Structure 1
Amino acid sequence: MNNNNWLRLKSLRGITRTGKKLHIDVSVYAKELSKSLHTKKRYSAKQRTKIKIKSSHKLQSILWKNGNLELLFDKKLQNNQINYYNKYDAKRKMYQYIFNIHASMLTKSQTLRKKGVSNIKLSQYNPNMLRLVIENSSPIKVRFSKKPTKIIVRIGSNKIIHNSVQYQHRSKTPTRIDRDKIIVIDPGHGGKDPGAIGYRGYKEKNVVLAIGKELRNILKARGYKVYMTRDGDYFVKLRNRTKFANRKNADIFISIHANAVSKHDAKKTYGLETYYLSKSRSSRAKRVAAIENSSDLIDMNYYGKESFLNTLNSHNIIAANKLAIDLQRSTLASLKKRYKYVKDAGVREGPFWVLVGAQMPAVLVETGFITNPREAKRLENRTYQKTLARGLADGVQRYFINCRKSRY
């Protein structure tokens, strides 16, 4: 932990909380956590020196400027002095956005106010660390940037109330024409059905659930109404997934999967591709569909296998094709900004049972090949998942903008 007491306490909390949920004996860690919280830690001379270095930065001023909260310090800040994360406090039903900054305050704790935000508090969390906590009953957009001696935090709207004085900025946030849209995200497989088993035993069901949750969070933060066919490790029949979307009156349905090939082709086969439902009988589409359709043979019998595809008409197929194109382009653009060897495997049509019955444009995104060593490692990586989800969210937004322009 590099003598970082805050990080040690955070880790102990995580171990004890997770251990209880998994019914694992974590009593040793729980005792250590309890002792740490109720006793004053004694530091050696060497540790005190390190602490002194960390807390040598002083907060000089706090002010609102152009709708942003600015924290000004007396010395140049390092990147590792700022730790930002967010979480949901289920007990208080609050979304929390937390900044831990290795510095100390010259003034007492302050409660700041901004219209549209429930609470904003800045305090000296411990001798080493300032803590800025932003709380709200619903998700808000919080971003920050670091200047040499300054941290600029951007929070939600532009209306600010500080020390009983109200400031109204002229710039208005543009009205979102698509904020009333309903999106259903369908993480493939789950429960008894692991999906594809890839490199190092990675399971498709776990990867796509993580990506689905990231996409849900991003879309909700952007103002969309979002539902998931599953938000945990359990099995949902294929036909029940689109039934769920129909019940929610969804505007679009996005099923998330990870592709797979044999070991012989694993190293050379990679890339992102997006499918929409059609009568396609191409060998590639049939191969991919066979993998994804195999999870529920009962539903395959229910739909009459290949014969059912002959009954399909063009309802929603054109819109689904355009949705698939927008998702594919935006996701590739997002990934290529940060990663090399990102391959466009194309937008394709195929006979996917999970899309059958959807009364809205529906697509299936193959986020990559879980059998490819490089791509599998990326699909398991949290940062990659977020980048990919951000691209999908951009594609959703682009689709609705294009819908308005072309009115399809």
Structure 2
Amino acid sequence: MGLALHLVSFLSSYRIQVFAAKITGWSISKSGMLDFDVSKNVTVRPSSFHSSSNKGGIWLDFHGVHLPTKNTRGRGPIRAVRLNRINRQTSRLIIDFAPKLKVNTQRLRLTNFIRNRWRLILIGLPTSSINTSRSVKSQSRPRIISTTRKTRKKNRIIIDPGHGGPDPGAIGLNGLRETDVVLLLSLLVAQLLQDQGFQTILTRTSEIDVDLPQRTSMANRLKASIFVSIHANAISSARSDINGIETFYYENSLSSTLAEEIQQFILTASPQTISRGVRKARFFVIRRTFMPSVLVETGFLTGSLDSLDLATFEHRQRIALAITTGILSYIKKEL
């Protein structure tokens, strides 16, 4: 658990330049995510992680890539990060862990972050690792709201990352895709809710296409207590002056309250964000669900301000924490 957090324990801000034509390099950010850049002719398979139960490590193979061998030693949970050449056509990135640290590859997610950049995250980050202190004043940072065990047990929450697969959604400045933004946001929200003890289900956890009726029928069939669909907005690239967040509901008064809570906590977490308000709308996923449902537009990918924020992992952390806190605040008041 906490792979990203452990990686940072000895590789924070460490950057490796790979002297090869097809992989330009990778880095471990201070927030604990592993990013790597590839050229267009490198195939990356998001589900291609492997693990060794007896050696306590994971690896990812790059086929058709010829890279020099590189080893980096570490202390604590992470013992080494290695780049090995398997054969003339395959290179392997290996992360070695301490013997007692078990990593479930089913909880690893490799997402196409932007253009030819990929990001590795581990679903299972503890709440304490969602750090917003660098960019948000402590007095405005949302605090996780406590709930009773009975409340957590009886409420099932559906988180719906918009679009996916062949449908990337909106395309913003610098090629930023809506599906990449909202999938990571949704994964973070789901994990934060799970850390609080709530049963949380995602309509998708990878880059696949899920029809709108499938999303709503899942929520209705599972008798969810709350449905939150997460999106990012766009408009003509000529209108980069348009920025801001907005949250939509259909007609249920409880949905309106949920939308107000989420909107307010996002504005608290990101005071510089422009508010476009809470409004009624007839989006399919909030019109065809039978529980309090909202659709959150987390910003404009075509906006000169929002696009810069949404491209950073730190801002997505803030938004994810704010959405989570809004949901918990609503539950405490209404359910």
Q: TM-score range by the shorter chain?
A: 0.5 to 0.7
Q: What is the CA distance between 1:225 and its match in structure 2?
A: 1.0
Q: Distance in 2 between matches of 1:272 and 1:246?
A: 27
Structure 1 residue 242 displacement after superposition: 0.9
**Residues 347 and 370 of structure 1, relative CA distance in 2, 3 Å threshold:** same
1:227 and 2:201 aligned: yes
8 Å CA contact 2:229–2:294 kept in 1: the answer is: yes
Which position in structure 2 is the counterpart of 1:122?
none
Identify if the C-alpha distance between structure 1 residues 231 and 366 changes in structure 2 by more than 3 Å, giving closer, same or farther.
Answer: same
Separation in 2, partners of 1:92, 1:350: 36
Determine helix, strand or coil for the equivalent of 2:67: helix
Q: CA deviation at 1:357?
A: 2.1
User: Equivalents in 2 of 1:254, 1:5: separation in Å?
Assistant: 35
Partner of 1:43: none
- 1:322 Cα shift? 0.8
Instruction: Summarize deviations over 1:258-284 as a string: whole Å, max 9, x none.
Output: 1111123222x1111000124xxxxxx
Whether 1:371 aligns to 2:302 is: yes
CA distance in 2, matches of 1:277, 1:334: 25
Letter paired with 1:333: T
The correspondence of residues 198-347 of structure 1 with structure 2, limited to 5 A, is 198-267=172-241, 269-278=242-251, 317-336=252-271, 340=272, 342-347=273-278
Map Cα deviations across residues 50-78 of structure 1 (whole Å, 9 max, x no partner): xxxxxxxxxxxxxxxxxxxxxxxxxxxxx
Larger fraction in helix: 1
Aligned mates of 2:309, 2:225 — CA distance in 1: 30
Inter-CA distance 176–32: structure 2 relative to 1 (3 Å threshold): same
1:28 pairs with 2:67: yes
After superposition, residues 3-402 of structure 1 pair within 5 angstroms as: 7=14, 21=48, 23-29=62-68, 31-33=69-71, 89-90=103-104, 142=128, 175-180=148-153, 181-267=155-241, 269-278=242-251, 317-336=252-271, 340=272, 342-402=273-333
Deviation at 1:248, TM superposition (A): 2.1
State the structure with more CA Rg: 1
Whichever residue aligns with residue 319 of structure 1, its letter is L
Question: What SS does the aligned partner of 1:33 have?
Answer: strand
Separation in structure 2 between the aligned mates of residue 5 and residue 332 of structure 1, nearest angstrom: 33
1:188 maps to a residue whose letter is G
Task: Report the CA distance between 1:182 and its aligned residue.
Answer: 1.0
CA RMSD across the alignment: 3.6
CA distance in 1, matches of 2:157, 2:235: 30
What residue ranges of structure 1 are gaps of 5+ in the alignment?
39-86, 95-137, 146-172, 279-316
Partner AA of 2:70 in structure 1: E
Please give the per-residue CA displacement for 1:79-99, whole angstroms capped at 9, x wherever unaligned: xxxxxxxx97116999xxxxx
Q: Which residue of 1 aligns with 2:56?
A: none
SS at match of 1:256: strand
Per the normalisation by structure 1, the TM-score is 0.51
- The whole-number CA distance in structure 2 between the counterparts of 1:273 and 1:89 is 38
Q: Once structures 1 and 2 are overlaid, which stretch shifts more, 19-28 or 247-256?
A: 19-28
For 1:200 and 1:92, the matched residues in 2 are separated by: 31
Contact 1:19/1:25 (8 A) holds in 2: no
Q: 1:350 to 1:218 in 2, by over 3 A?
A: same
Over residues 365-398 of structure 1, what are the superposed CA-to-partner deviations in whole Å (9 max), with x where a residue is unaligned? 0000111022112112100000001000110011
CA distance in 2, matches of 1:208, 1:247: 24
State the aligned residue count: 238
In 2, are the aligned partners of 1:259 and 1:369 still within 8 Å (CA)? yes
Q: Structure 1 residues 14 and 33, CA, compared in 2 at 3 Å: closer, same or farther?
A: farther
